[in-house]
Homo-oligomer: A and B are copies of this chain.
Amino acid sequence: MQLTFRQARAADIPRLVELLADDALGATREDLSQPLNRSSTLAFHSIDQDPNNELVVVEAEAELAGMMQLTFIPYLTHTGSWRCLIEGVRVAQAFRDQGLGTELIRWAIARAREQDCAIVQLTSDKQRPDALRFYEALGFKASHEGFKLRL
């Protein structure tokens, strides 16, 4: 399968929102109504304008097959270093169980190295046991609890 990674464009937003909603947890919290919720467009432009945020898509067979967001963050901790935070990883139904998720995360790790990051990190919902095994198989350690507080 030939994969093409690129930055997301504004024209991708409707498809990206579909991808986010096409998921057991995402289905409960995304808004697929048309015209698109204005906050999705605003969020896209905030990401797009920030050099430390990258919304990455992967195309396969001329379709948008997967997505993820990378955030590069400078920290004083660990002797002053950058980290790459991965969030919102999704693979389209038609492309699941073909190793595309692995390719996305490998691409993210390579991009993090390029940006001179010392750590790649992400949180994964404990309700997704397959995802937990998936990240462990890629070398991630579940050394931390991932705390969330809804405002």
Give Cα A125 to B142, complex, Å: 9
Cβ–Cβ contact B149 & A121, under 8 A:
yes
Main secondary structure of the interface of A (DSSP, over half): mixed
How distant is A89 from chain B, measured CB to nearest CB, in Å?
Answer: 10
Contacting residues, chain B, for A148 (C-beta < 8 A): 119-121, 140-141, 143-144
Interface hits, A96-142 → B, CB 8 Å? 109, 112-113, 117-127, 132, 135-136, 138-142
Q: What is the CA–CA distance of A29 and B117 in the complex, to the nearest angstrom?
A: 16
Question: Are B80 and A44 in contact, CB atoms less than 8 angstroms apart?
Answer: yes
Q: Which residues of B contact A39 (CB under 8 A)?
A: 79-81
Q: Which of B26, B41, B78 contacts A80 (CB 8 A)?
A: B41
Known contacts A37-B80, A79-B37, A132-B145; A151 and B112 CB within 8 A of each other: yes
Decide if A77 touches B81 in the complex (CB within 8 Å).
Answer: no
Residues of B within 8 A of A144 (CB): 123-126, 145-148
How many of chain A's residues touch chain B, expressed as a range?
A: 35 or more
On whether the beta carbons of A74 and B43 are closer than 8 Å, the reply is yes
In the complex, the answer to whether B143 meets A126 with C-beta atoms within 8 Å is yes
Considering the chains assembled together, what is the distance between the CA atoms of A127 and B143 in angstroms? 8
Q: Are A150 and B118 in contact (CB under 8 A)?
A: yes
Residues of B within 8 A of A138 (CB): 149
Alpha-carbon gap, A120 to B17, bound state (A): 22
Q: Are B119 and A146 in contact (CB under 8 A)?
A: no
